[in-house]
Homo-oligomer: A and B are copies of this chain.
């Protein structure tokens, strides 16, 4: 920061007539004051532990910052918050666009705050940097929940890889928990790779669907159905009720064909209407049953410890990869070898050997 302070040089300016200031002195004073106002790590932690949402938002912004100087401060805040975190239920909610995710989360969230719970809604959407946020980009989507003093809504971190977004969301969870939120909802779109990431940061995974003409199931990534602890068929209202009930029977039958979960939990299917609020309370009841069971059989703690270890190695692996794939001498070579491998001119293994030798030789 004081890089140029004590540099030695033979060049000196003679004292002469002082130049007029090119910027207003008052402006500088203001900026300096503003800078001073940036809270310290300790101040942020204090604010968070006092359940101050402004402090929480600032801390999350710090965690999301790509400015490397913010990294250390962010890590300090998180590590100080850690002892106060982890006392919540973390629920992942996914579903393709059109199933009514935000209406559902609004109705579900409002139900929870009406029961006295404090609800934080975060999102994982790595596409948001390009698409300007396909989910939660606009807080107005959950108008009522956003006004609720016992709710906190935060759009997805953006401008980053899935690994980056996932890391930031995981740390935002810790901050929200330290800030007194006892129910964390992580929203994601059911079309990309993000579900696996979300699955490994939540305790309970809810898949939102609608009943329809068969194709309502298209577009969701394979493997997601098998991750679900609960499938909720939304829009079960009006003419749709019958269809929704039918879909429920079908999904129930399908879920029984799946392998047993290591939690010991048999995945369930519910119907609800986020508009009429029918079935919303039932969804929460199922979630509660799950948590009772996994806290009883200690799966809850075991899974969280697992997840922590997973994210340690995941972060290491991600960064090992990015240090390789970002290296300027590697990138053009990799493209060349990819083509050769694709055209069966070279075995993938031989190509990898060449590239790794190059990488480690420096």
Contact = CB atoms under 8 A, between A and B. Distances in A.
B254 A316 contact: no
Nearest to A224: B259
Please state the number of chain copies in the assembly.
2
A356 B312 CA distance: 11
A256 B251 CA distance: 11
Nearest to A190: B259
Interface in A334-360: 337-338, 341-342, 344-353, 355-356, 360
Given A218-B259, A221-B259, A222-B226, A309 B75 contact: no
Contact of A316 (B219, B226, B258, B324): B324
Interface string A292-317: 00000000000001001111101111
Interface stretch (A38-46, A77-85, A143-151): A77-85
A349 to B, nearest CB: 5
Nearest to A347: B78
A86 interface: yes
Interface string A53-80: 0000000000000000000000100110
Interface string A210-222: 0000100111111
Q: Which of A78, A254, A347 has the largest count of B CB atoms less than 10 A from its CB?
A: A347
A282 interface: no
Nearest to A81: B347
Nearest to A342: B305
Interface in A170-193: 170-171, 174
Tier of interface size on chain A: 35 or more
Interface in A132-174: 167, 170-171, 174
Nearest to A209: B257
A78 B349 CA distance: 10
A30 interface: no
A82 B217 contact: no
A302 B257 CA distance: 32
Contact of A352 (B220, B312, B356): B312
Contacts of A350: 75, 78-79
B253 A308 contact: no
Interface of A: 75, 78-79, 82-83, 85-86, 167, 170-171, 174, 214, 217-223, 225-227, 250-251, 253-254, 256-261, 305, 308-312, 314-317, 319-321, 323-324, 337-338, 341-342, 344-353, 355-356, 360
